């Protein structure tokens, strides 16, 4: 699993401040033909899950369109699937990551195997991962 976090971009380039040790936002889980992605975005950068999908697709030159009426970004290539989404809360001091809730546009994220996938990323080594706890 490839984990992307738009916090670095948002806090350094948009908010022009240091990344706070406690932050939150929305996330999406995307499956591609070669890999899967878990993408975190601060809530001020991405009010809707579709905003995250749109940014990701633009960065990876994946064709699609944003249905503003439904707040959903539709990927044209059916080999790419948005598997779901939710909200996240990360506390770097306590080394805790909570994933919870769901996406109105893309549905509930699949939590099966998620803890192992996240903790296999060196950035989350030693973190306590909680699923479905607000």
Average pLDDT, stretch 100-127?
93
Taking a C-beta distance cutoff of 8 angstroms, is the pair 82, 106 a contact? yes
Distance between CA atoms of 19 and 21, rounded to whole angstroms?
A: 6
- Name the pTM for this structure: 0.92
64-97 confidence digits (pLDDT tens): 999 988 999 999 999 999 999 999 999 999 999 9
Burial class (CB in 10 A: 0-12, 13-18, 19+), 116: exposed
Which ranges of the chain would DSSP assign to H, the alpha helix?
A: 7-9, 49-59, 114-119
Structure tokens belonging to residue 46 = 């991405």
Distance between CA atoms of 80 and 107, rounded to whole angstroms?
A: 16
Distance between CA atoms of 104 and 99, rounded to whole angstroms?
A: 15
Distance between CA atoms of 11 and 67, rounded to whole angstroms?
A: 27
| Nearest alpha carbon to residue 37 among 93, 104, 84, 102 | 84
Average pLDDT, stretch 105-129?
93
């Amino acid at each position: 699993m490839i984990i992307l976090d738009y916090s670095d971009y948002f806090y350094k380039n948009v908010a022009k401040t240091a990344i706070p040790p406690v932050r939150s936002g929305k996330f999406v889980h995307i499956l591609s033909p070669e890999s899967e992605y878990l993408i975190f975005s601060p809530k001020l950068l991405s009010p809707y899950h579709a905003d995250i999908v749109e940014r990701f697709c633009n960065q990876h030159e994946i064709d699609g369109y944003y249905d503003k009426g439904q707040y959903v970004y539709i990927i044209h290539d059916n080999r790419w699937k948005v598997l779901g989404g939710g909200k996240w809360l990360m506390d770097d001091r306590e080394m805790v990551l909570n994933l919870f809730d769901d996406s109105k546009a893309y549905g509930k994220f699949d939590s099966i195997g998620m803890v192992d996938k996240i903790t296999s990323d060196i950035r989350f080594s030693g973190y306590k991962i909680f699923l479905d706890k607000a």
